[in-house]
Amino acid sequence: MTLKKIVLTAGAIALSGSLALSAAIADSGFGRPGIRGRMGAPLFSQLQLSDTQRSEIHDIFTNSRDTIRPLMQQLREKQAALRQSSEGAFDEAAVKAQAQDIASLQAQLIVARAHIRNQVLGVLTDDQKARLSELRAERMQQFREWRRQHSAPSEQS
């Protein structure tokens, strides 16, 4: 597998993990308020969480910020450095090294988000887990439909 494929695969995995986590964070009332209304009713509001569950999930997200934020900051810095380095003379070795650093950070984020997801799932009942799975499938279908509609504007003209 080429480095480009590895980086693209890691990016795709990171994006899907980010979508799932950001949906969970946004839908549970955490994070940026504008995200919640974009794709319909919030996921967690449709799970009929108890007050105890809401509190536990809030604590999980609050405690995870100390892990996620520094990784996200490092990722942004590494991506900016990669963009800046591509402005000068091309140095393939430097680009590969930067791409590997970015892939490593993306992998760390994927693991951290999977850990958070696992903790949140541990709070839910079996019925809530099943409903969450259904809701995520619906959201992914909505996303695919949106992407299909917006990915090929030249074909729609």
Whether 27 maps to a domain, the answer reads: no
Whether 137 maps to a domain, the answer reads: yes
Tens digits of residue pLDDT in 50-82? 999 999 999 999 999 999 999 999 999 999 999
User: Within 13 Å of residue 42, how many CA atoms lie on the same side as its CB?
Assistant: 19
Whether 151 maps to a domain, the answer reads: no
Whether 25 maps to a domain, the answer reads: no
* Interatomic CA distance for residues 44 and 123, integer angstroms: 12
The one-character DSSP state at 87 is T
Chain mean pLDDT for the chain: 79
Of 123 and 45, which is predicted with more confidence?
123
* Interatomic CA distance for residues 51 and 48, integer angstroms: 9
CATH number assigned to the domain comprising residue 116: 1.20.120
Whether 71 maps to a domain, the answer reads: yes
Whether 36 maps to a domain, the answer reads: no
**Domain carrying residue 88:** 42-143
Number of domains present in the structure of the chain: 1
pLDDT band, very low/low/confident/very high, at 3 (cuts 50, 70, 90):
low
Tens digits of residue pLDDT in 23-46? 444 444 444 443 434 444 577 788
* Interatomic CA distance for residues 10 and 100, integer angstroms: 10
Whether 112 maps to a domain, the answer reads: yes
- Type of residue numbered 154: S
Whether 7 maps to a domain, the answer reads: no
